[in-house]
């Protein structure tokens, strides 16, 4: 009995030392552990805010098939079923070549345009070992207008069909519900219609996302054109779009209202002729379906 009492007393006295030793050991392990970088995800739920690009890109070996549709103007009246009798469509494929580089191609009915584009992820918002307060992506595209030339008798250069767009996309997720983005933009058109139309158009885009639930968010974007066209016979206006995103598993379905008919940068930034105040609003939708092309890893036997 005396032996057990002595053993119990010794254990009682050594217990604090064991606890402190354990704490010291955990501190040593934490000090030796490599710091971890925690990257922010889902700043936006899609590669687009509404019409314009977001900082997001497809991950490696993921393919996004996008269908975008814009109807006619709501103020066209009952005869056109408030624009629903008219249709403008754009299809695109966006593929993640790596986790930081995305490639894409598209075809739209607006000016029968073919387009190709790249998006490069330069910086990613993160905490931990690397503390980066925002994400930064670079986007570039080329678009080809395949409409027949108005005057086929003159010397029409192929380069006249081409236009180019360049953007820096800087975004931040401020919390679980709100994200914002700014997008300095340059659009170059090799051929313009009149002397009033600039070949180089500069614009600043502003976009945001407000999450309403786990699967629904409101998105909005506005592009301020810094040097708009000065053609009094065909004025252009700054594009504004408001959308409702609905996520359904592998799909992201977006309903929107916009004063722009085109769905590529060259079109909606430089050629928007509608005014919200006059009811020149197009109802439309985007459908995004993502396919994972990675081969599943085989389980070890």
> What is the C-alpha R_g of the chain?
27
Locus of tokens 């036997």 = 301
| pLDDT number for residue 173 | 97
Burial of residue 147, with CB atoms counted within 10 A of its CB: 0-12 exposed, 13-18 middle, 19 or more buried: exposed
Spatial contact of 103 and 118, defined as CB atoms under 8 Å apart: yes
| pLDDT number for residue 27 | 61
| Count helices and strands in the chain by DSSP H and E runs | 2, 14
| pLDDT number for residue 26 | 56
| pLDDT number for residue 51 | 96
In tens digits, the chain (301 residues) has pLDDT values of: 555 455 444 444 444 544 445 555 556 555 666 789 999 999 999 999 999 999 999 999 999 999 999 999 999 999 999 999 998 999 999 999 999 999 999 999 999 999 999 999 999 999 998 999 999 999 999 999 999 988 777 888 999 999 999 999 999 999 999 999 999 999 999 998 888 889 999 999 999 999 999 999 999 999 999 998 777 777 899 999 999 999 987 789 999 999 999 999 999 999 999 999 999 999 999 999 999 998 776 555 4
Per-residue HEC secondary structure of 235-264 comes to: CCCCCEEEEEEEEECCEEEEEEEECCCCCC
pTM, entire model: 0.85
Element (H, E) at 267: helix 265-270
DSSP three-state, residue 66:
strand
Structure tokens belonging to residue 179: 């994200």
Instruction: Give CA–CA dist 100/87, Å, rounded.
Output: 34
Locus of tokens 């050594």 = 14
CATH superfamily of 37-292: monomeric porin ompg (2.40.160.40)
Structure tokens belonging to residue 10: 């010794």
Comparing CA positions, the residue from 147, 46, 44, 41 lying closest to residue 92 is: 46
Element (H, E) at 187: strand 178-189
Structure tokens belonging to residue 138: 């670079």
235: phi then psi, degrees, rounded to nearest 5: -70, 150
Burial of residue 70, with CB atoms counted within 10 A of its CB: 0-12 exposed, 13-18 middle, 19 or more buried: buried
Instruction: Give CA–CA dist 288/248, Å, rounded.
Output: 10
Neighbour count for residue 132 (Cβ, 10 Å): 15
Instruction: Give CA–CA dist 55/169, Å, rounded.
Output: 6
Q: What is the DSSP letter of 119?
A: E
Element (H, E) at 12: helix 2-32
Instruction: Give CA–CA dist 166/144, Å, rounded.
Output: 15
Instruction: Give CA–CA dist 151/179, Å, rounded.
Output: 47
| pLDDT number for residue 281 | 96
Structure tokens belonging to residue 153: 């008798």
189: phi then psi, degrees, rounded to nearest 5: -115, 125
């Amino acid at each position: 009995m005396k032996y057990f009492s002595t053993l119990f007393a010794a254990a009682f006295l050594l217990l604090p030392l064991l606890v402190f030793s354990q704490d010291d050991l955990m501190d040593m392990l934490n000090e030796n552990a490599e710091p971890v970088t925690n990257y922010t995800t889902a700043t936006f739920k899609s590669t687009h805010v509404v019409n314009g690009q977001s900082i997001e890109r497809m991950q490696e070996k993921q393919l996004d098939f996008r269908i975008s549709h814009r109807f006619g103007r709501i103020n066209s009246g009952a005869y056109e079923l408030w624009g629903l009798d008219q249709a403008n469509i754009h299809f695109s494929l966006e593929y993640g070549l790596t986790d930081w580089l995305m490639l894409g191609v598209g075809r739209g009915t607006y000016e029968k345009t073919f387009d190709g584009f790249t998006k490069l992820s330069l910086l990613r918002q993160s905490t931990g070992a690397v503390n980066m307060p925002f994400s930064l992506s670079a986007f570039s595209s080329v678009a080809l207008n395949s409409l027949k030339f108005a005057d086929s008798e003159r010397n029409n250069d192929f380069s006249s069909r081409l236009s180019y767009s360049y953007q820096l996309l800087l975004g931040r997720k401020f919390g679980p519900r709100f994200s914002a983005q700014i997008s300095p933009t340059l659009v170059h058109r090799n051929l313009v219609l009149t002397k009033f139309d600039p070949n180089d158009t500069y614009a600043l885009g502003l976009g945001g996302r407000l999450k309403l639930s786990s699967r629904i968010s409101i998105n909005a974007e506005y592009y301020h054109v810094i040097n708009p066209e000065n053609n009094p016979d065909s004025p252009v206006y700054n594009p504004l779009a408001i959308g409702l995103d609905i996520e359904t598993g592998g799909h992201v379905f977006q309903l929107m209202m916009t004063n722009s008919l085109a769905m590529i940068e060259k079109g909606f930034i430089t050629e928007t002729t509608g005014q919200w105040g006059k009811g020149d609003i197009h109802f439309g939708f985007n459908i995004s379906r993502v396919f994972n092309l990675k081969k599943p890893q085989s389980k070890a036997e």
